[in-house]
Structure 1
Amino acid sequence: MKVSEIFLSIEGEGIRTGAPAVFVRLFGCNLRCSYCDSMYAVEGSDFQELSPVEVFEKVKSFNTQFVTLTGGEPLIHKDVEVLLKMLDDYGLEVNIETNGTQPKPSGYRHMFCTMDWKSISSGMQPKMKLENMMTLSGRDVLKFVVGTEEDLQDAARVIGAMEAEYARRGMKLPTFYVSPIFGTMKYEDMVDWILHNATMKRNNVRFQVQLHKVIWDPEARGV
């Protein structure tokens, strides 16, 4: 598999924010989002070919409980399920950061997904399929990266559709996060919008900023 980087840092967003984790960033993506902050893992030749066993051994060497598999888009790699099984059998808790074009993998005891619904601002929303969001469970996360009020309105629409369907199925919804596109809409305006939208308030939508971009330079790699 093509690996962009493997490094130890803290989780910068989501349910495990602030916790130490090993990040495995795989190279290559099937989308081209307007706000992508890791194009070095999407285009070019800045990667190395490693087997799932080699990646697994490198992850183990950091001696942490949490692993985040990211990209690019990790779920388009043909050997990713081999790696996931190794990590799962070893008892590591894996967070798969995935772009919403693939359904959540199943059959793993210690894995959860942080899935994106691509906003209108991303330019990639036509690639989104609501049925992929419906594969998420109560232990997963659905993230909306937004930059405009139109993006927020679209996020509320998706959450409302999921709320109705999950109620019909008797299932627990994933945790919803709204994350601003860096340098766009004012944070206070975004938070105010969330607090005054009935669907978002009813479903306890969480606002977040990317902590790693606060601690380190926003353009830094390996953090």
Structure 2
Amino acid sequence: MSHNSSESLRISEIFYSLQGETSRVGLPTVFVRLTGCPLRCTYCDTTYAFTGGQTMTLDAIMAEVARHAPRFVTVTGGEPLAQKNCPSLLRALCDAGYEVSLETGGALDVSGVDARVMTVLDIKTPASGEMAKNLWSNLDHLDSRDEIKFVLCDEADYAWAKQVVQEHQLARRCAVLFSPAQGQLAPRDLAEWILRDHLPVRLQVQLHKLLWGNEAGR
């Protein structure tokens, strides 16, 4: 293996489930959830990943992923890029032949992410409470295989996100996903607004929550 096997990361959980979001929705996927996050979004559904977890070497992580024999692997958090060895993990997963995606909150620099990785970049809205942390230069590092996600809490969030999509011509760069914050915005309302405004975005609801509710580790 080409990676430094002594490198380690703090892991919240590694589990096998169906991808609940993005263009890979519904596909069997291994999730590697890293511990820790510098953001505190109002709607966060993985607060348990802020702390705790266990330290694992790259070799141990790779062995656990391989146990499930997946085609797709998603590295998520928390905020995975908050750990300095995250790019090494992404590279090792790509080298092993997996189709790898990264779910990142958009506040940390993605320029060091392996080009083979599908980066799913979350742009934080006003209602998230973390809008000021958006690192807008990240947009320059995205290409057509990547995806941009907005989690929307209300109509004001939608109007703001719509403006960002138009201002930055995001749909020309890559797929843009609008997701309603669970329990705060009715998916049907969001669907109506997208249709009304002819927005070039994809509405996504979280498949895993339809299937399993809010159980952690699914």
TM-score (norm 1): 0.89
Partner Cα separation in structure 1 for residue 20 and residue 176 of structure 2: 16
More displaced, 95-104 or 2-11? 95-104
CA RMSD in angstroms comes to 1.6
Moved more, 107-116 or 153-162: 107-116
State the SS of the aligned residue for 1:190.
helix
Partner of residue 191, structure 1 = 191
SS in 2 for 1:154: helix
Per-residue deviation at 1:125? Answer: 0.3
The residue aligned with 2:178 is 178
Aligned match for 2:152, one of 124, 146, 150: 146
Match of 1:215 in 2: 211
* Structure 1 segments unaligned to the other structure (5+ residues): 167-171
Question: Percent identical across equivalent pairs?
Answer: 38
Give me the whole-angstrom Cα distance separating, in 1, the residues matched to 2:161 and 2:109: 19
Q: What's the CA shift string for 1:32-69, capped at 9, x where partnerless?
A: 001000000013x2x00111221111111110110000
Query: Displacement, 1:134?
Result: 2.8
Q: Which runs of 5+ in 2 are unaligned?
A: 1-8
Count of equivalent residues: 210
Structure 1 residue ranges (4+ consecutive) displaced by more than 6 angstroms after TM superposition: none
The residue type paired with residue 196 of structure 2 is: H
Partner SS for 2:168: helix
Aligned residues of 1:103 and 1:135 also touching (Cα < 8 A): no
Aligned pair 1:23/2:18, yes or no? no
**Cα pair 2:109 2:135 within 8 Å, conserved:** no
Specify which of 110, 120, 124 is matched with residue 118 of structure 1. 124
* TM-score, scaled relative to structure 2: 0.91
- The question of whether the paired residues in 1 share the 8 Å contact of 2:87 and 2:112 is answered with no
Hey, what's the Cα distance between the residues in 1 that align with 2:184 and 2:113? 39
Does structure 1 conserve the Cα–Cα contact (< 8 Å) formed by 2:22 and 2:177? yes
Cα distance in structure 2, aligned partners of 1:94 and 1:17: 14
- Alpha-carbon deviations, 1:2-22, whole Å to 9, x = none? 100000001001110000000
